[in-house]
Amino acid sequence: MSPALFPQHVIAKKRDGGALTREEIESFVRGATDGSWADYQLSAMLMAIFLRGLTAAETVDYTRAMMHSGRVADLSGVKRPKADKHSTGGVGDNISLHLAPMVAACGVAVPMISGRGLGHTGGTLDKLESIPGFSVNLPLAGYQAQLERIGLCLIGQTAELAPADKKLYALRDVTGTVECIPLICGSILSKKLAEGTDVLVGDVKYGRGAFMKDQAKARELASALVAVAAAMGTPMRAVLTAMEEPLGRAVGNALEVAESIACLRGEGPADTMAVTFALGEQMLLLAKVAQTAAEARAQLEAVIADGGALRKFREMVAAQGGDARVVDEPGRLPQAKMQVPLAAPRAGFVEDVDALGVALAALRLGAGRAKAEDRIDPAVGVNGLVKIGERIATGAPLCVIHANDEQALAEAAVLLAKAITVGDVPGVAPRLIGEIIG
C-alpha cells in the first residue's frame, strides 16, 4: 500500500479539508468491506466527512465505490424497461407495496430492494413480512429470475449487494453521522444502482414525521441525489412530499398492508393515492412507456380499474412464498388481541395530527424498532385515523388502537391524545406534493 493510502493519512487529509482522490476514496470503502480499516478508523473518516463534506466529484466517486463494493445485478435478461422508487421514510408510508405492482402491471419491471424500519419510520420489508410466509431474503439469482418471470420483486439488501454500505451505515447510526447529504447519497444510490434499475424516482419527504424536517434541506438532498445518479448514468427525478401528518389512515405493518390492498382495489385514502400517482407518473415517464403525466396517470388508473395491479400483487406474494389469500381476505393478516377506539374529547374539527406523535405511539405498541435488534409485532398500530380538517363529534373515534399489551395500549393512548388536536377551526394540512426535481 502506498503511504498516502494509509488510513490515518486519508483521514487527516479530509479532516484538514482536502479533496480526496478516487484512489483514496476506494481505499476507504474497500477498508469497510475487507476489514483492512479498523472500525475506529472508519468512524473517524465518517466524522471527517460529516464535518468537512465531500465535493460533487468526491460524492460520485464515493457512491461508485460503494456500488462496486459487491456484485451488481445483471438484469439483461429482463426485456422490459426497469424503474424503481425510493422513499426517505415517513409515517404510514406504505406506497411501495401498491405502487410497485401498479407500475409492473403497466409493463415496467420493478426491481426494488428495500429496507427495514428504524426509529419512528416504518420499513417496507417489515410490512411485507407481516404477510404469512412472505420471504424478503431471496438470493441475487432468485431476484433476477423472478424479475424476468413476473417483472416484480421486493427484497431486502443481500450480502452480495453494496456490502460496504451495511457496514458504514451501522457505524453512522452510532457515531452521529447519519444526517450528512454526501453519505446519504452514497448509501441510497449504491444499493439502488447495484440492483440493476434503468431509472429511479425519489420520494424525498420533509416535515415532523420525516428525517429531513426542513423543506430546504430536503430540496438540497433531492438535488444531490438527482445529480449523482445522472453522473453515474441513471436518469432520476425526485418529488418533494410533505410528512406533517401520517399518510393514509393506518400506521403499523399488517394494517398498512391491508390499506395497500384497499389502494389496489381503488379504495385507498385520497392522500396516499395522490402521492402514489405522483411517483408512478414519474416512473412511467422516465421508463418511456408514457409521454405525458396525464397519459401515465390514465395507465395507472386503468390497471387499478381492471384488476391488473391487484393480480400482479397477488402474483408477487405467491412467488415469494406468501399466503396469497390475504389479497382477497385481509383478515388473514396478523390481528391484535385488543382493538380499542380513541374517543374524541369534544366536538369540532381536527386541527392537527402530528405524524411524529402518532409514530411514537405506534412504536410504543411494538410496531417499530427503537434499536436495530428490537422485535416487531406485525399486528399492532393504529388505523381509522382522522385527517386534518375533518369534522368530528364528541366521542367519535379519532382512531382505533390495535394492541397486544394493556400497558402499551394505555401509554399509546396518552401519546395519541396529545398528537391529535380537536378545536373550533378546521386545520389546514400543508401542500402534500411539492416540486419535482430532475
Q: Which of the following is catalytic: 43, 96, 187, 190? A: 187
User: Quick one: cell of 235?
Assistant: 436518469
For 350, half-sphere exposure in the C-beta direction (CA atoms, 13 angstrom radius) is 23
- The CA distance from 292 to 129, in Å, is 35
Q: Which of the following is catalytic: 86, 167, 312, 402? A: 86
Q: Which of the following is catalytic: 68, 167, 172, 312? A: 172
Strand partners, 203: 87, 239
- Whether 80 is catalytic is no
User: Quick one: cell of 284?
Assistant: 412511467
Q: Which of the following is catalytic: 14, 166, 191, 192? A: 191
- Whether 187 is catalytic is yes
What DSSP letter does each residue of 392-410 carry, written as one string?
E-TT-EEEEEEES-HHHHH
Q: Which of the following is catalytic: 165, 198, 203, 352? A: 165
- The CA distance from 330 to 319, in Å, is 18
Strand partners, 154: 112
Decide: 209 and 173 in contact? Cβ < 8 Å.
no
**CA geometry: angle at 363 spanning 184 and 412, to 5°?**
145
- Whether 86 is catalytic is yes
- The CA distance from 98 to 429, in Å, is 24
Mapped onto helix, strand or coil, the DSSP state of residue 154 is strand
User: Quick one: cell of 433?
Assistant: 406534493
Catalytic residues: 86, 165, 172, 187, 191
